[in-house]
Amino acid sequence: MNEYVERAQQYMRDVLDGTIPTCKWTRLAVQRQADDLLRERSEEWPWVFDADLAARPCGFAELLPHIKGKWAREGRLLELEPWQCFIITTVFGWVHHETRLRRFLEAYEEEARKNGKSAKGSALLLYMLAADGEHGAECYTAATTRDQARIVFDDAKAMAERSPGLRTHLGVAIMQHSLTVAATSSKAAPLAAEGSTLDGLNVHFALLDELHAHKTRAVYDVIDSARGAREQSLLWTITTAGTDRSGICYERRTHVTKILDRVVQDERVFGIIYTLDDGDDHFDPAVWIKANPNLGKSVQLDELQAQASKAMAMPSALSNFLTKRLNVWVSGESPWMDMRAWEKCGARGLGIESIPDGSKVYMGLDLAQKKDFAALTLAWEEDVEVSTGTVFDPSKRADDPAFYKRQLRIERKWRVCTRLYLNELAVQESGNAHLAGWARQGYVVVTDGALTDFDCVADDMRTYCRRFDVQEIAFDPALSMYFAGKLIEEGLPLVEIAQRAMFFTPALIQVENLVLEGKLQHDGNPVLAWMVSNLVVKQSKFNELMQPTKERPENKIDGVISMLMALGRALQQDTGSAALDDFLRNPIIV
């Protein structure tokens, strides 16, 4: 094993055992690589890790000089830190076992300012131009302005000017606005921000700098679409946090967090985020390393402390300190659910067909006709066997099944199953690449045409009301009053619930607590998990009431809303019944 892979793997060990303080997303990125290294090759997993290919860009980078600051004055070469070795070796080390083409086609890297991203980006630009073995390689830097795009390019140009070997051995020619390699007909250049001017590109490598500052998605989309003719093109985004949660940067960040949380499977995208964890004190120097992996190297503690003091004294400086120096996205909305905790609450074999007939059930209904889902959630309480460990019978042989005995106890848990309905046109036009697959696997009921068939939903509701003791069906009258009216006439117990913060605040808190305490079980529907991960909470600054919402239209949350309506009503009734029972057992009469 070479030194760069060794540095990377030592970094992985230090992260996973807590030696290096890191945030949740960094640990999950490291754990993903650790898990991948243990996977056996198969048709579903055709990738192998090649340590020599992983090390090549690292060795190349450390031949290049610093071009800014005291290290440039001292004539020092770049020295990659272990965390940088981890990122580079992971992205470049995985290849297809037959074609030897790279696994990762996109890399998303998010960290605070001054962590050496420009120097590393410049080194990668030069490597992809001159040392990746690609003929006709078109390599670009892109940002919101040409001046911003030139930052990384100009650093790469200065490195090339101070590295005679690039010119003599690799044939790099240095021009005012580009770098070229005549032998392979390759070039590198900065790009203007206007996406409309970028047509005709054939991108081998593109480095998008400060993606959070892009006002539109035009540049990203044009570069992404310009990679189709390449077998192993690489789109690399390096950014800090921002404030626009509706933009392309936060969209890519959200996709990465879903990959790391194992909600979405995308083996061709690498992502790592250096930021603070929820609940960390922004002004505690002990947590700053989580967002600044180069703390003590290119990031100085005293400078951070000065910025923190300014942010404490001047509220107007707080947002800049959080986004630029701690890589914290600033917004009035925050993710609702810990997806690891949600995943642990999945129960194998749980489904509507497994609910005992006659069970007391609460239902929540959220309707939509065109692009949103219609959702129906059933919630009920049930006694569940829970394993407390395994005991061994020494009187039995080890190969005797009776040698092992599980210890069980009975716990009362809330259980939920959600039915999701969507019309076939919405499935075809969805930007979610997983949706068609989920529909084929039966996780979504697909109805014919361009409108979701409410009769299908109504038939299911009638069936469940015949099978179970349905207490209430909570629904939003703003969306389904006519539909509900007909079912009320049939005797179904529908209850109007306006989707306001006053109702949702206790439901959000109670359901989250049930998940964190392991007192809720769900059927493992991946579409519902995706919706749970999409839900963010907007909290009022005046009365602390909470409203569930989504950050963009394509982030559907309909299934979660129906679950919150069902459980919100069920828990509300359960709390009232418990209080009444307690009073009857212990009456206080004055």
Specify the CATH number for the domain of residue 43.
Answer: 3.40.50.300
Q: Are residues 238 and 379 in the same domain?
A: no
Q: Are residues 356 and 259 in the same domain?
A: no
In a domain, 143, yes or no: yes
CA distances from 73 to 76, 90, 165 (A): 8, 32, 20
Q: Digits of tens for pLDDT over the chain (590 positions)?
A: 699 999 999 999 999 999 999 999 999 999 999 999 999 999 899 999 999 999 999 999 999 999 988 888 888 999 999 999 999 999 999 999 999 999 999 999 999 999 998 899 999 999 999 999 999 999 999 887 778 888 899 999 999 999 999 999 999 999 989 999 999 999 999 987 654 456 678 999 999 999 998 878 888 888 888 887 788 999 999 999 998 877 889 989 999 999 999 999 999 999 999 999 988 999 999 999 999 999 999 999 999 999 999 988 876 688 889 999 999 998 666 778 888 889 899 998 899 999 999 999 999 999 876 788 999 999 999 988 876 666 666 776 666 676 666 667 888 999 999 999 999 888 888 877 788 888 889 999 999 988 888 899 999 999 999 999 999 999 988 767 778 888 998 999 999 988 789 999 999 999 999 999 999 999 999 999 999 988 988 877 667 788 999 888 888 999 999 999 999 999 988 665 444 344 334 444 43
Instruction: Compute the half-sphere exposure of residue 429: CA atoms within 13 Å on the CB side of its CA.
Output: 12
CA distances from 563 to 34, 243, 349, 543, 567 (A): 35, 30, 19, 24, 6
Element (H, E) at 391: strand 374-392
Which pLDDT score, from 0 to 100, does residue 575 have? Answer: 61
Q: Are residues 281 and 422 in the same domain?
A: no
* Parallel, antiparallel or unpaired: strands 179-181 and 138-142: unpaired
Instruction: Compute the half-sphere exposure of residue 115: CA atoms within 13 Å on the CB side of its CA.
Output: 27
- CA 229 vs. chain centroid, Å, equals 28
Residue 213 per-residue DSSP state: G
E runs forming strands in 33-93? 47-49
Q: Are residues 133 and 252 in the same domain?
A: yes
Which pLDDT score, from 0 to 100, does residue 450 have? Answer: 84
Q: Are residues 574 and 526 in the same domain?
A: yes
DSSP string, 508-545: HHHHHHHHHTT-EEE---HHHHHHHHH-EEEE-TTT--
Q: Which residue in the block uniquely carries the two structure tokens 């212990």? A: 586
In a domain, 188, yes or no: yes
Structure tokens that stand for 85 in this block: 């070795």
**Which residue stretches of 297-350 are H helix?**
301-313, 315-320, 339-344
Q: Are residues 152 and 106 in the same domain?
A: yes
d(CA 537, CA 334): 5
Element (H, E) at 576: helix 558-585
Q: Are residues 382 and 316 in the same domain?
A: no
Q: Are residues 219 and 258 in the same domain?
A: yes
Q: Are residues 504 and 575 in the same domain?
A: yes
Q: What is the pTM of this model?
A: 0.75
Q: Number of structural domains, the chain? A: 2
CATH of the domain at 464: 3.30.420.240
Structure tokens that stand for 485 in this block: 């009216």
8 A C-beta contact, residue 310 and residue 321? yes
In a domain, 121, yes or no: yes
Q: Are residues 439 and 551 in the same domain?
A: yes
| Domain final position from 300, 325, 350 | 325
Q: Within a 10 A sphere around the Cβ of 432, how many other Cβ atoms?
A: 15
Helix %, strand %, coil % for the chain, to 5?
45, 20, 35
In a domain, 396, yes or no: no
| Domain final position from 283, 303, 325 | 325
- Spatial neighbors of 136 by CB under 8 A, at least 6 apart, are 184, 185, 186, 202, 204
8 A C-beta contact, residue 355 and residue 417? yes
Residue 403 per-residue DSSP state: G
Q: Are residues 321 and 343 in the same domain?
A: no
In a domain, 355, yes or no: yes
- Spatial neighbors of 202 by CB under 8 A, at least 6 apart, are 136, 138, 226, 229, 230
In a domain, 588, yes or no: no
Q: Which domain holds residue 437?
A: 339-386+412-579
Q: Are residues 73 and 17 in the same domain?
A: yes
In a domain, 399, yes or no: no
In a domain, 206, yes or no: yes
